[in-house]
Chains A and B, each alone.
Chain A
Amino acid sequence: EPEVTQTPSHQVTQMGQEVILRCVPISNHLYFYWYRQILGQKVEFLVSFYNNEISEKSEIFDDQFSVERPDGSNFTLKIRSTKLEDSAMYFCASSGSTGWGTQYFGPGTRLLVL
């Protein structure tokens, strides 16, 4: 069964460093998402991406964040200058041909900013 994959599973970085989190969505899916969950808090929407551009983003998704689909298979989230409060589990998800349809989540990347 097709699944969303994410790499790395864990990442530790120093404050101020750039990180890139990678996701490979399900191959025929058209909508892609990033979410995060800070320990003990709700899952939070960051951004949705369709047709090679951002379709929605939350207040969290400021200029420090960017997304890219560089090669038609990978979907990346870049944090330019990490802060301590960026420490969280980051989930990628994808959905098929409708923007409101079932979303399939990847296993997540746990990011720790020191």
Chain B
Amino acid sequence: ILNVEQSPQSLHVQEGDSTNFTCSFPSSNFYALHWYRWETAKSPEALFVMTLNGDEKKKGRISATLNTKEGYSYLYIKGSQPEDSATYLCASMNSGGYQKVTFGTGTKLQVIP
């Protein structure tokens, strides 16, 4: 059973602050790493899919990096806004079951105006 961990579990930041959180995943047989943004009462929304070591992806004020050798990914939010408040999920796909997705528990972000 793969173990995908996210930290912190939750955090509160002031509007305008930048923040980041971590996803760690098994580095063996790695295939892809997904980040999702999940607002309350909605469905998870895909942010990024990363596959290569050193990948960096950016979408507006949100960016992510990937280190497949050590098994971690960082998600960064620059200048947090109240609308960024959500749970951010990462999910790992490892080959030998490459479509079998293992989710982390998520990081719940609250941006205080």
Binding site for B on A (CB under 8 A): 4, 31, 33, 35, 42-45, 48, 50, 55-56, 58, 91, 99-108
Contacts and interface: CB of A to CB of B under 8 A. Distances in A.
B49 interface: yes
Given A100-B32, A100-B93, A103-B34, A33 B101 contact: yes
B100 A45 contact: yes
Contacts of B44: 43, 91, 105
A103 B101 CA distance: 11
Contacts of A4: 43
Contacts of A42: 103-106
Interface of B: 31-32, 34, 36, 42-46, 49, 51, 89, 91, 93, 97-106
B46 A48 contact: no
A107 B42 CA distance: 6
Given A44-B103, A99-B99, 5 more contacts: A43-B103, A45-B103, A99-B98, A100-B32, A102-B34
Nearest to A45: B101
Contacts of A103: 34, 46, 101
B46 A102 contact: yes
Contacts of B105: 42
Given A91-B44, A105-B45, A58 B103 contact: no
Contact of B31 (A43, A100, A107): A100
A42 B6 CA distance: 11
Nearest to B91: A43
B100 A101 contact: no
